[in-house]
């Protein structure tokens, strides 16, 4: 039996115990500022971040990490992981990816079918980011990069919508409409991420960075970023 699909669904599940639900990545500040205030503005925020930030930098980085793990190119894993960590523009974003990376690595160590070689190589990385550890699991479980990227983008979008449901707040039907709309964009964003060259990737999203920085001093907060 091919276990790649159920393992991919497990990686993309909001039940994955890495603490993703505790982060909003600046969305909470955007809500506080009135930039996001209803279904349409929530869709615009999530869709824009998916298109111009996560889809243009995180997804290509994840694809390269999956390939590097699959090819056992550990030097490339270290390089891409370090580049990704350096791209985190605020203290909260940096703390988020390191905390989730730590939690994911600990989880994998407790699973019976995670290959020992991958576990040892992950253990040798002092502070791996979340994409680094998540991609190691995808590679170890033979998830193809295209599917891994699509699942990563979906998981990110779902977490953003769940944050919007709590903080705007929005109804469940509104959340499903947003996911339906952004989900339709994921196949094209996945294909783009796979073909982008190193000099074509970009996380230039100043509004996002400002929102994340301002969240650090926001008076009343539900989320950690």
Looking at domain 23-215, which of 1.10.1580.10, 3.90.1640.10, 1.10.4190.10, 1.25.40.10 is its CATH number? 1.10.4190.10
pLDDT value at residue 163: 97
Q: CA separation (Å) from 179 to 9, 153, 164?
A: 17, 11, 12
pLDDT value at residue 220: 87
**Distance from C-alpha of 129 to C-alpha of 95, rounded to nearest angstrom:** 9
**Distance from C-alpha of 179 to C-alpha of 162, rounded to nearest angstrom:** 10
pLDDT value at residue 49: 97
**Distance from C-alpha of 146 to C-alpha of 28, rounded to nearest angstrom:** 30
**Distance from C-alpha of 26 to C-alpha of 214, rounded to nearest angstrom:** 8
160-202 pLDDT tens trace: 999 999 999 999 999 999 999 999 999 999 999 999 999 999 9
**Distance from C-alpha of 17 to C-alpha of 11, rounded to nearest angstrom:** 10
49: CB partners within 8 A, 6+ apart = 25, 160, 205, 208
Instruction: Classify each residue of 52-68 as buried b or exposed e, where b means 16 or more C-beta atoms within 10 Å of its C-beta.
Output: bbbbbbbbbbbbbbbbb
Structure tokens at 131: 């994409």
**Distance from C-alpha of 84 to C-alpha of 64, rounded to nearest angstrom:** 11
CB 188 within 8 A of CB 56: no
125-167 pLDDT tens trace: 999 999 999 999 999 999 999 999 999 999 999 999 999 999 9
Structure tokens at 178: 């947003």
**Distance from C-alpha of 54 to C-alpha of 153, rounded to nearest angstrom:** 8
91-122 pLDDT tens trace: 999 999 999 999 999 999 999 889 999 999 99
Mean pLDDT of the chain: 96
**Distance from C-alpha of 69 to C-alpha of 137, rounded to nearest angstrom:** 9
What pTM value is reported for the model? 0.96
Percent over 70 (pLDDT), the chain: 99
pLDDT at 2 over 80: no
pLDDT at 66 over 70: yes
CB 70 within 8 A of CB 118: no
For the chain, the structural domain boundaries read 23-215
Confidence tier at 1 by pLDDT (50, 70, 90):
very low
Structure tokens at 81: 């992981």
**Distance from C-alpha of 25 to C-alpha of 92, rounded to nearest angstrom:** 8
Average pLDDT on 20-29 reads: 97
């Amino acid at each position: 039996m091919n276990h790649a699909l159920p393992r991919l669904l497990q990686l993309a599940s909001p039940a994955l115990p890495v603490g993703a639900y505790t982060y909003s990545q600046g969305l909470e500040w955007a809500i506080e500022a009135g930039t996001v205030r209803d279904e349409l503005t929530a869709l615009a925020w999530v869709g824009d971040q998916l298109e111009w930030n996560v889809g243009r930098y995180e997804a290509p980085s994840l694809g390269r990490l999956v390939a590097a793990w699959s090819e056992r190119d550990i030097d490339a894993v270290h390089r891409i992981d370090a580049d990704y960590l350096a791209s985190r523009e605020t203290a909260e974003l940096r703390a988020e990816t390191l905390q989730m990376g730590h939690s994911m690595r600990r989880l994998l160590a407790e699973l019976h079918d995670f290959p020992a070689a991958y576990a040892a190589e992950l253990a040798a990385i002092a502070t791996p980011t979340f994409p680094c550890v998540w991609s190691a699991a995808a590679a170890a479980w033979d998830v193809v990069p295209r599917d891994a990227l699509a699942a990563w983008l979906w998981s990110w979008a779902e977490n953003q919508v769940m944050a919007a449901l709590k903080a705007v707040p929005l109804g469940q039907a509104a959340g499903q409409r947003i996911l339906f709309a952004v989900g339709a964009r994921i196949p094209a964003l996945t294909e783009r991420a796979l073909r982008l060259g190193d000099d074509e990737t970009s996380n230039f999203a100043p509004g996002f960075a400002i929102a994340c920085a301002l969240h650090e001093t926001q008076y009343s907060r539900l989320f950690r970023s």
